Amino acid sequence: MTILDLSGMRAYLDGGKEEEREVVGVFVGKAQKDLVAIADACRTADEHNWREACHSLKGSAALLGAEILREACFRGEKTEDVSSATLEQIRDDIIQAHKDVIAALSEEGLT
């Protein structure tokens, strides 16, 4: 699995880097909100909001081509073990995957 595969996004967009930066900007802003929601839901053991936030970020990651992040969010959304230790581990995996995506986007000159 790759951290980031922008080929799907690029095939969909007609523009150049500026249009890509706009899409990435929307992703970054939305992802930040979802990460806050994931952290809050983990801290408060709110299973419903946990699943919703993981689902939301999973969709954004999939559209961008961030497969490792998408997979981590999928695990969060579908986990049956909602113990604090499990949610904290998945949260940490999601945060790390997000950091890796942001670094990859930076390398592409998109952030």
Whether residue 2 is contained in a domain is answered as: no
pTM, whole model, 2 decimals? 0.95
Whether residue 16 is contained in a domain is answered as: yes
Distance, in Å, from the CA atom of 52 to the CA atom of 45, rounded to the nearest integer, reads 13
Number of domains in the chain: 1
Whether residue 62 is contained in a domain is answered as: yes
Summarize pLDDT for 23-62 with one digit per residue, the tens.
999 999 999 999 999 999 999 999 999 999 999 999 999 9
Q: Please, is 18 exposed, middle or buried when counting C-beta atoms within 10 Å of its C-beta (0-12, 13-18, 19+)? A: exposed
Distance, in Å, from the CA atom of 94 to the CA atom of 10, rounded to the nearest integer, reads 24
pLDDT at 1: 81
Task: List helix spans (H) across 45-107.
Answer: 47-64, 67-78, 84-107
CATH number, residue 46: 1.20.120
Whether residue 72 is contained in a domain is answered as: yes
Averaged pLDDT score across all residues of the chain: 95
Maximal C-alpha separation, the chain:
45
Whether residue 90 is contained in a domain is answered as: yes
Whether residue 1 is contained in a domain is answered as: no
Q: Domain span at residue 48?
A: 7-107
